Structure formats: structure tokens, C-alpha cells
Amino acid sequence: MKKYAVIVAGGTGKRMNSDMPKQFLPLHDKPVLYYTLKAFTDAFPDIDIILVLPPDHIALGEEILDAFFDRNQIKITAGGETRFHSVKNGLELIPEEGIVFVHDGVRCLVTPKLIRYCYDTALEYGTAIPVIPAKDSVRIKTDTGNQPVDRNNVMLVQTPQTFHSKILLSAFNIEFKEKFTDEASVVEAYGIEVKLMEGEDVNIKLTRPVDMLVAEQLIKLRMLADSKA
């Protein structure tokens, strides 16, 4: 089946304390986006990618694609006011039925193995949401203070969130609501239950400077392992 990836990279980098959006920051001599895109092209060489970028940084995205990738395989579109609107803009460039991945541009440590696992799960169930169990104690705020939550029932959601296009494109025709923090919440609001599947601990979202340090070391370890293979 046809495969599409909508890579959402519309962040501004405020929590990274950088004037440059974090998806463009250098990581082992290449921009963060390079590793994200390469994971998908390594997983499926025939995949079509739609890269959603801040309007002011589309030219920089074009430079990255020209330097490292087949431009016929990747299209760029501008992000919107919220994640919902950015994803919706990307989905408008999907021309035919297939399996659609929606992935955070700054989750650059995602592996081709997880991407393929998401694809297989979505083929079977129509949806695939990678999650990992919470390892820390969890508390929830209440009107009177706070209370503990059984962390065994708490799952931390990752991307790529993966769907059959008929499900995802139809779901994104509903009206935007503030509670839509990811694609799973949109699909559930549309009335479809999502399938949770095992994610990867290393599939972190780069948000703060310490995340860049962790990613740098993990990429070095992967490069070392590849050189010995």
C-alpha cells in the first residue's frame, strides 16, 4: 500500500533557548531534520514525505532537502496556527489512499524498525499509536490540591502516529477543538478507537538543551555500531 509521512516541524525553539528553530539545529554536523527524514526513507525507500515548516523557514528547509535528499520524494508546505492546522495542511497534499504517518520533526531518534512496526499495525487495525509506560510517579492536580495516579495505567504517547488515510483524512474534516493535542485525539473525537502499540524509549522529543546532548551521544553510538556492522 502507498505510504505517506507528514513530518510536522513547525516549532520555534523557545524552550531550547535558541534563535534558530530546534529542527534546524546541528546534531553531529547535520541538522536535526536530516535524521528524522532519513529514518523514514531508510524504513521505506518508496515513501512520499510532506514536510510542514514555519513559513519563515521554508527556504532553509529547501536547502536541507537539496543537500541530502531526493527532492521528488519530499514536498514542503507551511504550518498553521496549531498542530491540528499544520497537520491538516500536510494532509491536503496526499493524493491517494494509503497509510499515513504523522511524526514530530524533532523526534529524530526514531528508528526504521519502529516505523515499519507502526505501518504493520496500522495495516491490521487502521490505527497505530506508539506509547511507552510512565516510569516516574505521577500526580494529577485537583480543585483541592493533588492526588497520585497509578502509573501502571499511564502511557506516554509518541509519534509516528499512523493511520489508514480514509480514517485520518475524514477525521481532520471535523471542527478544531483545543483538546486536540495530537492526531489520536482527533481520530477519537471522530468516533474511532485507536490502537496502542509499544514505542521506543530512545524516541525522545527534543525540547530542551539537555535533549540535544542525549541525542548527540545516541547518534554517535549508532554510527559506531554501523561502522562495526
pLDDT in tens, 130-146: 999 999 999 999 999 99
Give the pLDDT score at 162.
98
Of residues 16 and 159, more confidently modeled: 159
Q: What is the pLDDT of residues 170-179, one digit of tens each?
A: 999 999 999 9
Cα-based torsion angle of the residue sequence 128, 89, 205, 159 in order, rounded to the nearest 10 degrees: 0
Is the pLDDT reported for residue 222 higher than 70? Answer: yes
- Interatomic CA distance for residues 44 and 15, integer angstroms: 32
Average pLDDT in the 179-194 region? 97
Domain residue ranges in the chain: 3-228
pLDDT of residue 37: 98
Which pLDDT does position 124 carry in this prediction? Answer: 98
- What is 3-228's CATH number? 3.90.550.10
Please write the tens of the pLDDT for every residue from 68-125: 999 999 999 999 999 999 999 999 999 999 999 999 999 999 999 999 999 999 999 9
Q: What is the DSSP string of 32-83?
A: HHHHHHHHHHHH-TT-EEEEEE-GGGHHHHHHHHHHHS-TTTEEEEE--SSH
Q: Are 103 and 3 in contact (CB under 8 A)?
A: no
Q: pLDDT class for 12, splitting at 50, 70, 90?
A: low
* % of the chain residues with pLDDT over 70: 97
Question: Which pTM value belongs to this model?
Answer: 0.95
pLDDT at 16: 64
Question: For residue 67, what are the contacts with CB-CB under 8 A and spacing of at least 6?
Answer: none
Given a cut of 90, is residue 169 above it in pLDDT? yes
Cα dihedral 179, 180, 186, 189 in deg (nearest 10): 10
pLDDT score recorded for residue 229: 73
